[in-house]
Amino acid sequence: MLAGLVVLGTLLVSVAIARARFVHQAADAERRLSATRATSAMLATWFTGPTPAVPLAAEGALDGAANFTWQTHVMPKRPAAELTAVIVRLDVFDRSAPSSTPVLSVDLLMHKNP
């Protein structure tokens, strides 16, 4: 009888831990999806109009995604320079995460105006 209760207790604790991990993972995935949607909307505003308005070196808060920031910088790539273009990297960071690695990165090939 006691052994059965121990097994049942262990099973219940295991299920509770697994559920907590799943809920945390689902919440993290939803935050990343929110950041992706907000990044897509921001890129859409940058590319409206006859010439793209992509900042070459800038940063700011990501509208529509709390605790996320974005940053752009030019990537030094010789093949792009041969095409009279530059590669601009857009990185999105989660300020609430302990890691400083980007959550999302997008490389944009931009034509240089002569």
pLDDT digits (tens, 9 = 90+) for 59-74: 999 998 889 999 999 9
Which pLDDT value is given to residue 83? 82
pTM for the complete prediction? 0.76
> Lowest-pLDDT range, 23-27, 36-40, 53-57?
23-27
Which pLDDT value is given to residue 71? 96
Mean pLDDT over 88-109 rounds to 91
Percent of the chain scoring above 90 in pLDDT: 41
Mean pLDDT over 42-57 rounds to 89
Residue 64's nearest CA partner among 44, 91, 39, 46 is 39
Distance, in Å, from the CA atom of 60 to the CA atom of 94, rounded to the nearest integer, reads 12
pLDDT band of residue 35 (cuts 50, 70, 90) is very high
Q: What is the dihedral of CA 36, 40, 45, 49, to 10 degrees?
A: 160
Query: Six-digit token pair at 71?
Result: 């940053």
pLDDT band of residue 114 (cuts 50, 70, 90) is low
Q: Are strands 104-111 and 68-75 parallel, antiparallel or unpaired?
A: unpaired
Q: Domain 2-111: which topology?
A: Pantoate--beta-alanine Ligase; Chain: A,domain 2 (3.30.1300)
Output 89 or 27, whichever has higher pLDDT.
Answer: 89
Query: Six-digit token pair at 58?
Result: 């800038």
